[in-house]
């Protein structure tokens, strides 16, 4: 990436501020500066950003601190459009629609519900990115790195993130096209190659394919673009936001107010049979 500014330094211990009495840099940011009639974002006048950058370029600037080159901009755009939607095969969509059915006055609470349901189990790319960055950082031969990934993540989470899908058992279509296009853009680099090696290693150990999923592919591409894993996790949720908004609007305009889960749709009680509290009064 180009013209990325140096990370600013600041104190993090609240006790230091209390002890010194100097609160002058307690609230500091390297992201933007605003004054009367003037705003800069990462040092650039906001008017120039609005006039000269598209949305994804501006987002890259906000998150990374520098302007993307042509390759980086294309890869970033590719990642952000790769999620799209997958019907109801997402806890995030269900959470958003449930909230919209109970609060149809605004899409915002439902959007928040959907984003809150975007975690490691529902396909966040944060853990795959953390795994790949860690694995590449070991500087081990490929086979040793893959074996260590299996050992570390089995102990840590009971599974290897970024691989497998409840429906797509041999290939995740979104991940396949994302990987192919990233390769064409020279964006499937050391973290992508590590993910390929882990997929192959897992297939050999299990005797069957456990395919790279979308979270894994996104994590690899964004790790190769040097994004922080925290940002990668946030981008996973935000990139699905448009699909959530589509689901929410559909739910409010054409859905079922106050959705429930009746027995006919899978609700099942498996607790004790009806019983009664004995009369304890003397």
**Does residue 179 fall inside a structural domain?**
yes
pLDDT for residue 209: 93
Which domain does 206 fall in, by range?
126-237
Give just the sign of the alpha carbon dihedral 184, 188, 192, 194.
positive
**Does residue 253 fall inside a structural domain?**
yes
Count the helix, strand and coil residues of the chain and give each as a percent rounded to the nearest 5.
Answer: 55, 5, 40
**Does residue 2 fall inside a structural domain?**
no
Evaluate if residue 126 carries a pLDDT over 60. Answer: yes
**Does residue 169 fall inside a structural domain?**
yes
Domain count, the chain: 3
pLDDT for residue 120: 77
What is the C-alpha separation between 201 and 224, in angstroms, rounded?
Answer: 21
Evaluate if residue 123 carries a pLDDT over 80. Answer: no
CA 140 vs CA 54, 145, 147, 243: distances in Å? 40, 5, 10, 40
Matching residue, tokens 């906000």: 62
Q: In the numeric block, which tokens belong to residue 34?
A: 């605003």
CB-based contact 118:124 (threshold 8 Å) = yes
Average pLDDT over residues 198-218: 95
pTM of the model: 0.90
112 with 165, same domain: the answer is: no
Average pLDDT over residues 112-126: 88
155 with 230, same domain: the answer is: yes
pLDDT for residue 1: 47
**Does residue 3 fall inside a structural domain?**
no
Indicate which CATH number applies to the domain containing 186.
1.10.230.10
Mean pLDDT lowest for which of 50-64, 109-123, 233-247? Answer: 109-123
What is the C-alpha separation between 200 and 257, in angstroms, rounded?
Answer: 47
Evaluate if residue 4 carries a pLDDT over 70. Answer: no
Q: Report the largest interatomic distance among the alpha carbons of the chain, rounded to a whole angstrom.
A: 83
Percentage of residues of the chain with pLDDT beyond 70: 96
197 with 227, same domain: the answer is: yes
232 with 132, same domain: the answer is: yes
Q: At what angle do helices 142-157 and 126-137 cross, to 10 degrees?
A: 140
189 with 51, same domain: the answer is: no
What is the C-alpha separation between 158 and 31, in angstroms, rounded?
Answer: 38
Q: At what angle do helices 70-82 and 55-64 cross, to 10 degrees?
A: 100
Q: What is the pLDDT of residues 142-197, one digit of tens each?
A: 999 999 999 999 999 999 999 998 788 889 999 999 999 999 999 999 999 999 99
Query: What are the contacts of 58-61 at 24+ separation with CB within 8 A?
Result: 60/1
pLDDT for residue 122: 76
CB-based contact 248:97 (threshold 8 Å) = yes
249 with 202, same domain: the answer is: no
């Amino acid at each position: 990436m180009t013209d990325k500014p140096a990370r600013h330094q600041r104190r993090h211990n609240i006790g230091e501020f209390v002890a010194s009495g100097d609160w002058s840099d307690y609230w500091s940011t390297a992201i933007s500066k605003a004054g009367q009639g003037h705003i800069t974002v990462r040092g650039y006048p906001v008017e120039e950003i609005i006039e000269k950058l598209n949305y994804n370029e501006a987002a890259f600037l906000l998150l990374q601190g520098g302007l993307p080159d042509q390759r980086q901009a294309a890869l970033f755009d590719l990642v952000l459009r790769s999620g799209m939607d997958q019907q109801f095969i997402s806890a995030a969509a269900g959470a958003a629609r449930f909230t919209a059915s109970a609060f149809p006055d605004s899409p915002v609470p439902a959007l928040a519900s959907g984003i809150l349901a975007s975690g490691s189990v529902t396909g966040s790319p944060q853990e795959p990115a953390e795994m790949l960055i860690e694995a590449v950082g070991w500087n081990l031969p490929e086979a040793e790195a893959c074996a260590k990934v299996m050992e570390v993540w089995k102990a840590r989470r009971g599974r290897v993130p970024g691989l497998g899908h409840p429906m797509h058992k041999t290939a995740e279509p979104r991940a396949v096209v994302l990987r192919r296009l990233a390769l064409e853009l020279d964006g499937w680099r050391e973290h992508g190659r590590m993910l390929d090696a882990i997929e192959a290693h897992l297939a050999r150990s299990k005797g069957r394919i456990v395919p790279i999923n979308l979270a894994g592919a996104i994590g690899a591409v964004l790790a190769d673009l040097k994004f922080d894993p925290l940002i990668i996790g946030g981008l996973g949720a935000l990139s699905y936001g448009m699909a959530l908004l589509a689901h929410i609007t559909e739910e409010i305009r054409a859905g079922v107010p106050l959705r429930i889960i009746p027995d006919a749709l899978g609700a099942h009680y498996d607790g004790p049979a009806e019983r009664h509290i004995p009369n304890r009064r003397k």
